[in-house]
Amino acid sequence: MADRDGGGLVFDAGALTVGEYMERWLKVSVQGTVRQSTYDVYGYMVGPHIVPGLVRLKLKRLNPAHVRAFYRDRLDTDLSPATVHKMHVVLHKALDGRSPTR
């Protein structure tokens, strides 16, 4: 796994789960590129929320229906819409393959 022209992660999407990808994205693309407070928020969205919700799903199989169901599940567990929106922002940035500072 390496940064490709500062534009994102290089990985084998067939072998990674969404959870593995998110954890690697956080460490490789985010850590050291944003303020510590931003990294902490991203870590809070990834660690206890995104990874457990999508941990077993292979990255190459992730589709919009999975993401919608994930958001619905998070809302049904009494998380606030604002928290779920923050998860959306983090997930979108990670899956877009861009550095969080772009």
Whose CA is closest to 42, among 92, 81, 2, 1? 92
At residue 12, what is the residue type?
Answer: D
Q: Per-residue pLDDT tens for 32-82?
A: 999 999 999 999 999 999 999 898 899 999 999 999 999 999 999 989 999
Instruction: With beta carbons less than 8 A apart as the criterion, state whether 30 and 39 touch.
Output: yes
Record the pTM: 0.78
Which domains occur in the chain, in start order? 2-96 (1.10.150.130)
Q: Per-residue pLDDT tens for 12-22?
A: 656 789 999 99
